[in-house]
């Protein structure tokens, strides 16, 4: 009988370990399946695996009452697990208050159902740390130089962002604005609210200081002006897996993974209010070999966003490369899927497929500008379904800046200008947007080699293309009450094929400027009366086949 009891206990423990030590072989099979039959060269990702050792933060004295600060217990357990060769660190059901959590190699941080981790905004729980010549507040979940690491489970990370984040007056209704501004302080013009009194004075003091020579004590005096922490930021790591958890109420960018080689995200959820300032959802920066699937975002800035800077590209030709995003949903956001604004590290081979975007500003947004631009190529976006966008369904912007930049892009910086080339949009459907498609170049830069195939967009206005080259519209329907449907200015080699629907009245295409050349209509059932050629454009450059 005693032997039977021991055997049963062992089996129960083994089942417990198996339940916690995801990812499993089944996850690896899912990953492998998603990385087959890509429109570019296939690549592989090895999902991290962990040993049988399991550590519970309660064994280190953690108390889940929402009052006790559990920073030492959580980080101590992660360190113990990593130093012992790795395994799973359990955060069980409970309300766990903590300071920043530092991840370590060979650790799966697992939040069980009911686990709510709330990050303290108290300065004593968030000590500033040195970052180069400056000091900063560490990201709430952080780590660098990691290998074989995971964050999994059904629990929630709450960044307690309302204690950090400023709010713009224009984004809140009057009643809510009055309630929030009962504490904290307002900017001099009354347009921005800050949650902590003294923020204005700290901002002014920091702006007037020689930041490169400030001591830690001096930085501590202006901590209210220091960059708000990201909710999660992992850097320069390999084989990272994130599944199931919810990240919410972020002080700043929610999820920022930088210079990761081998990253898998499954069923990750970002939950922020639409008016949260700078609260990007899922930002992937200078990463290689990435798979994101079944993820959901609602936030106050870019939804799913690709970034790449030279500083983090480690000498690679393309800082961000081999990215597959499938079966994701974005609700409120500045953009559903976004590239940029920093693209100077280069981007190559991105597939976005079978995604839904509703209520966001722009659906598919590509943005950069002089001083932060680089080559972005081989971008495949297909099977995208969008509804009720307040901005454009598709948008290219080559003049995006945080502040005004004088001079042309080429004058500004020859090696850091946007270079958008080889984009393929297929099976794109949108029911309701401010504008259908906007392609905007600059005085000296073009958007090049873009194909739209099987596209149906219902929008308040049509397509505007400026300084674009080698653009093809194949089986594209733009349902708009505004004439013209297409406005082409300084475009070269623009082809319309198999256009199934024309406006019942008004102009289909308006050709502007003598620099607009070689506009071709193939297999379209209308005559030249639907094409208006003005402002010096040459009629000989418009051809019907």
The answer, yes or no, to whether residue 371 has pLDDT greater than 90, is no
The domain locations on the chain are 50-163, 167-223
Fold assignment, 50-163:
Pectate Lyase C-like (2.160.20)
pLDDT tens digits along 420-450: 999 999 999 999 999 999 999 887 888 999 9
Measured between alpha carbons, how far is 449 from 149 in angstroms, rounded to an integer? 39
Measured between alpha carbons, how far is 484 from 430 in angstroms, rounded to an integer? 19
Strand partners, 233: 142, 256
Measured between alpha carbons, how far is 307 from 286 in angstroms, rounded to an integer? 6
Between the CA atoms of 255, 257, 261 and 264, what dihedral angle is there, to the nearest 10 degrees?
0
- What local confidence, expressed as pLDDT, does residue 501 receive? 67
Measured between alpha carbons, how far is 91 from 84 in angstroms, rounded to an integer? 18
> 356: Cβ–Cβ under 8 A, 6 or more apart, which residues?
328, 329, 330, 384, 385, 386, 387
Tell me the three state secondary structure of residue 111.
strand
pLDDT tens digits along 314-369: 678 899 999 999 999 999 999 999 999 999 999 999 999 999 999 999 999 999 99
- What local confidence, expressed as pLDDT, does residue 133 receive? 80
pLDDT, mean of residues 84-105: 98
pLDDT, mean of residues 101-108: 98
Distances (CA, A) of 90 to 79, 106, 156, 165: 13, 14, 13, 30
Tokens of 326: 């499938």
Q: 83, 21, 76: which is closest to 50 by C-alpha?
A: 21
Distances (CA, A) of 338 to 10, 176, 286, 373, 433: 49, 30, 14, 14, 17
- 14 phi/psi in degrees, rounded to 5: -65, -40
Measured between alpha carbons, how far is 307 from 342 in angstroms, rounded to an integer? 6
- What local confidence, expressed as pLDDT, does residue 441 receive? 85
Tell me the three state secondary structure of residue 186.
strand
The answer, yes or no, to whether residue 7 has pLDDT greater than 80, is no
Q: Cis (ω within 30 of 0) for the bond into 484?
A: yes
Tell me the residue ranges of DSSP E strands in 300-418: 302-307, 320-326, 329-330, 335-339, 347-358, 362-367, 375-387, 392-397
User: Between these two residues, 273 and 505, which has the higher pLDDT value?
Assistant: 273
Q: How far is CA 120 from the centre of its chain?
A: 25
Q: How confident is the model at residue 4 (pLDDT cuts 50, 70, 90)?
A: very low
Instruction: Report yes or no: 343 and 377 within 8 Å, Cβ to Cβ.
Output: no
Measured between alpha carbons, how far is 458 from 473 in angstroms, rounded to an integer? 16
- What local confidence, expressed as pLDDT, does residue 414 receive? 60
Q: How confident is the model at residue 402 (pLDDT cuts 50, 70, 90)?
A: low
Distance between the two ends of the chain, CA-based, in angstroms? Answer: 88
The answer, yes or no, to whether residue 20 has pLDDT greater than 60, is no
- What local confidence, expressed as pLDDT, does residue 404 receive? 36
Sheet containing 185-186: which strands, arranged edge to edge? 167-168, 192-194, 185-186
pLDDT tens digits along 504-515: 678 999 999 999
The structure tokens 């930002």 sit at 283
pTM as predicted: 0.94
3-state SS string over 413-429? CCCCCCEEEEEEEEEEE
Measured between alpha carbons, how far is 262 from 46 in angstroms, rounded to an integer? 7
Buried residues in 362-384 as b, exposed as e (16+ CB within 10 A): bbbbbbbbbebbbbbbbbbbbbb
Q: 421, 487, 484, 429: which is closest to 453 by C-alpha?
A: 429
Q: How many CB atoms lie within 10 A of CB 535?
A: 11
């Amino acid at each position: 009988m005693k032997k039977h009891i021991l055997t049963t206990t062992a089996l129960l423990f083994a089942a417990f370990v198996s339940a916690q030590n995801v990812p499993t072989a089944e996850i690896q099979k899912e990953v492998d399946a998603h990385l087959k039959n890509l429109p570019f060269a296939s690549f592989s990702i090895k999902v991290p695996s962990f040993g049988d050792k399991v550590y519970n933060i309660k064994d280190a004295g953690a108390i889940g009452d929402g009052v006790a600060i559990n920073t030492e217990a959580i980080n101590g357990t992660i360190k113990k697990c990593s130093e012992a060769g790795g395994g799973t660190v359990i955060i069980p059901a409970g309300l766990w208050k903590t300071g920043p959590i530092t991840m370590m190699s060979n650790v799966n941080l697992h939040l069980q159902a009911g686990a709510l981790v709330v990050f303290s905004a108290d300065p004593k729980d968030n000590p500033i740390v040195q970052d180069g010549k400056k000091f900063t507040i560490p990201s709430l979940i952080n780590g660098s130089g990691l290998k074989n690491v995971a964050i999994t489970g059904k629990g929630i990370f709450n960044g307690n962002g309302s204690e950090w984040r400023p709010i713009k007056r224009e984004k809140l209704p009057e009643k809510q604005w009055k309630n929030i501004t009962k504490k904290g302080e307002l900017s001099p013009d009354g347009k921005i609210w800050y949650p902590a009194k003294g923020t204005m004075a700290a901002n002014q003091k920091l702006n007037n200081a020689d930041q490169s020579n400030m001591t830690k004590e001096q930085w501590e005096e202006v901590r209210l002006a220091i960059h708000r922490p990201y909710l999660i930021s992992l850097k320069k790591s390999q084989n990272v897996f994130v599944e199931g958890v919810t990240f919410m109420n972020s002080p700043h960018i929610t999820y920022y993974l930088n210079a990761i080689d081998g990253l898998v995200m499954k069923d990750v959820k970002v939950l922020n209010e639409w008016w949260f300032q700078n609260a990007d959802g899922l930002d992937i920066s200078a990463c290689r070999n990435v798979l994101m699937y079944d993820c959901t975002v609602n936030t106050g800035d870019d939804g799913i966003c690709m970034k790449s800077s030279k500083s983090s590209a480690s000498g690679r030709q393309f800082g961000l490369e081999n990215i597959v995003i499938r079966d994701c949903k974005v609700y409120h956001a500045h953009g559903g899927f976004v590239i940029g604004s920093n693209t100077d590290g280069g981007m190559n081979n991105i597939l976005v497929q079978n995604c839904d975007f509703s209520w966001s500003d722009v659906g598919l947004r590509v943005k950069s500008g002089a001083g932060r631009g680089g080559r972005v190529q081989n971008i495949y976006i297909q099977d995208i379904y969008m509804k009720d966008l307040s901005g454009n369904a598709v948008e290219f912007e080559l003049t995006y800046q945080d502040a005004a930049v004088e001079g042309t892009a080429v004058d500004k910086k020859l090696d850091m200008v946007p270079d958008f080339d080889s984009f393929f949009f297929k099976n794109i459907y949108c029911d309701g947007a401010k504008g259908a498609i906007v392609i905007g170049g600059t005085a000296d830069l073009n958007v090049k080699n873009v194909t739209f195939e099987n596209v149906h967009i219902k929008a308040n206005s049509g397509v505007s293309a400026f300084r674009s080259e080698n653009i093809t519209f194949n089986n594209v329907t733009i349902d708009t009450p505004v004439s013209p449907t297409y406005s082409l200015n300084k475009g070269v080699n623009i082809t319309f094929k198999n256009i199934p629907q024309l406006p019942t009245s008004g102009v289909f295409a308006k050709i502007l400027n003598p620099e607009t050349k070689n506009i071709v209509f193939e297999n379209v059932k209308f005559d030249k009366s639907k094409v208006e050629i003005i402002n010096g454009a040459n009629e000989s450059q418009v051809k019907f086949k």
